[in-house]
A and B are shown apart, each in its own frame.
Chain A
Amino acid sequence: MKKWLSGSLAGLLVICFSAGTLFAATIKIGFFAPLTGFAAADGASAKNAVMLAVEKINKTGGLNGNKVELVVYDDRVNPKESVAIANKLIERDNVVAVVSGSYSTPTRVTAPIFNKSGIPMVAAYAVDPSITKAGPYIFRTGFLGQIEGKAAGEVAVNLLQAKKLAMFTIDNDFGRALSKGFHARVKKFGGKVVYEHAFAIGTKDFSAMLTKVKELSPDLLFISGYYEEAALAVKQAGELGLRCKILGEEGFDSPKFLELAGESAEGVIITTNLNRDDPRPLVQDFLKAYKAKYKMAPDMVGASSYDAFMVVAGAIRTAGPDSKAIRDAIAATRDFEGLTGSIARFNKLGEAMKPIQVQIVKKGAFHYFAHISDPEIITPPDK
């Protein structure tokens, strides 16, 4: 009864929104993200952005006259959960393609399942390299952790001319991949890492580590982590009177980082994929529409998920609702204009190559600082 009611309500809403458009059929696209648990904020950003994309498509006539339905599941960043979700999406929901709006751990385990069943999946911002190695049906629109780490190293030693470096690394696959790339790039240009400390997700107190860094007085401190930890580290650095430059990565990219770190965020530089000062109307319209609908500014997690969904939607538009044809269409994508930059093509492995954005915090907002498009840094590996 309840299901029937909410179903018909949703149907009613869709009819209202589509303003009389009659859809020929419904195309189901699967989506999973952490909607509860510690990563619920990222899950909400991802889902909100994708819902915006779904709405936009359905309002303008759907995909070749077919309505798009997003089948959403909550994985709680738990691989056991996401395996069950993958099987449900394939067997019960009969989705034609899937978008992962989740972290590496839950995404990684689903990749072989989708690949085996011939359902294409596009990962939005999961950074683990093994995801796309699952097979030809798996793609990624985000960066690999190691490439972003390399770009951060480039920013540190060449753009900012910092040679004596300290690092706080978040202790998971994301942090370790970033650290590896950062070390490689820094070493090549004669930078020296004088201090590196790994910290656990959810760490709140950085004062002991920051006191140590203050004593070493490096030129730059590179912090990897998500906005919760990042904001606390930056805020405490300000309170302790640490003077060196602070460099972060896409985990910092959230309006919440700015809010929680307060004045200490001023001058922090990050590598990410969303350029807020991008003049393309696509980006500016998204920023405006998101803010109007959800009463907060979007972040890179949302923008990345939006792009991943649009890649799938674009492929369905050219290939129709057949999974095999959709896969081929994704693989044949050329010059896709996304919020997070344009993707020239996917490589053999299914990795996208796009420039890395460098943003700086000025007067409490992210702004353009530089971008890195050196192919030596941003080319993803193809095996």
Chain B
Amino acid sequence: MLAQQIVNGITIGSIYALIALGLTMVYGVLKILHIAHAGVYAMGAYLGLWAYCMVPNLFVAMIVAMTLSGVAGTLIERLLYKSMLDKSRIVPLIASIGLFIAMEEAFRLIAGPYVRAFPAHFRQKPWIFGPVRISAPQMLVFGVTLALLALLWWVLTRTRMGKALRAVSMDREMAEALGVATDRIISLSFFISSALAGAAGVLVGIFYNSVYPTMGDIPAYKALAIIVLGGLGSIPGTIFGAFLVGISETFLIGFVNIPLPRDALAFIVMIAVLMFRPYGLFGKE
């Protein structure tokens, strides 16, 4: 029971991590809250579904969804946020919320209001270790998340691009003064974060066998709680926060029959952390 609940919690935490990472990266470079990120996540799910219906191969679907979501993210930055950066921070935030709502309605108009099933079937039997069962979709979620996190770590620490991205995130003006092409780096961070969101969309679509227009609603605010909890802009903090929220949700529901809605828990954890660490778990002043 305990072991099974940990497995359940890690699965959810993995998904939260992929969604929240992009949000924290965007906050890192631009200092804006990118609510439409959740729209990109839903778009990733639709793109993956569409690609899978064309070519029934999960790998292809994942690559298509990630690439196109990445391009969409870059376009959002270029066409929407770029002209607003010198305005008050509330301006891009409101534009972002507006875009998110517009995206949801666009999905509904294009794909219809009904929940779409993701027709990926797994012949793989679940792994059973004593009382613990790990189903094939769970294995897929673990595998893809782990691979993407490793890839992200490699890009950020071992490539020039990644180092430049971290430099921009630490101090944009200083990085620019030292010759970093900040414009390109900002676009790059939107591409990476949107691609991660797209991957999360596909994984959620497969794992829960459902893709629908408003699937971004809950991630839109839960990812926010997670990145605040982890420390705005901190990548390790976000990953830690995502797993912390995933596992605490599972435990609180599985062991203590709390009367609160599950989605409030992320915020309770966030408030509890902020009381002792006002800049989040890994955040700096």
Contacts and interface: CB of A to CB of B under 8 A. Distances in A.
Interface of A: 35-38, 40-41, 43-44, 171, 195, 197-200, 202-205, 207-209, 211-212, 215, 227-228, 231-232, 235, 239-241, 256, 259-262, 296
Nearest to A40: B113
A60 B8 CA distance: 57
A211 B208 contact: no
B57 interface: no
Contacts of A232: 208-210
B249 A40 contact: no
Given A198-B259, A256-B115, A260-B115, A208 B137 contact: no
Contact of B114 (A41, A198, A211): A41
A322 to B, nearest CB: 36
B214 A260 contact: no
A200 B262 contact: yes
Interface residues of B, number: 39
Given A36-B105, A211-B8, A203 B115 contact: no
Nearest to A255: B114
Contact of A41 (B115, B117, B218): B115
Contacts of A259: 117
The binding surface of chain A is classed by DSSP as helix
Interface of B: 1, 4-5, 8-9, 11-12, 105, 108, 112-115, 117, 126, 133, 135, 137-138, 204, 208-210, 212-214, 217-218, 249-251, 253-255, 257, 259, 261-263
A239 B262 contact: no
17 contacts: A40-B213, A41-B113, A44-B112, A44-B113, A44-B114, A200-B261, A205-B208, A208-B253, A208-B254, A209-B254, A212-B255, A228-B212, A232-B208, A239-B126, A239-B135, A240-B4, A256-B115
B113 A208 contact: no
A260 B249 CA distance: 24
Contacts of B251: 208
A239 B115 contact: no
Contacts of A262: 117, 209
Pick the 10 closest A-B CB pairs, nearest first.
Answer: A40-B113, A208-B254, A207-B8, A200-B261, A208-B253, A239-B135, A208-B250, A41-B114, A41-B113, A259-B117
Interface centre among B8, B133, B213 (most CB of A within 10 A): B8
A39 B80 CA distance: 30
Contacts of B108: 36, 40
Contacts of B262: 199-200, 203
Contacts of A37: 214
A202 B218 contact: yes
B19 to A, nearest CB: 13
B4 A231 contact: no
Contacts of A205: 8, 12, 208
Contact of A241 (B11, B133, B250): B133
A81 B204 CA distance: 32
A211 B1 contact: yes
A34 to B, nearest CB: 9
Contacts of A296: 114
A153 to B, nearest CB: 21
A276 to B, nearest CB: 19
Nearest to B126: A239
B261 A207 contact: no
A195 B256 CA distance: 12
A239 B133 contact: yes
B114 to A, nearest CB: 5
B105 A209 contact: no
A231 B254 contact: no
A211 B4 contact: yes
Contacts of A204: 204, 208, 210, 218
Given A208-B249, A259-B117, A215 B208 contact: no
Contacts of A208: 5, 8-9, 249-251, 253-254
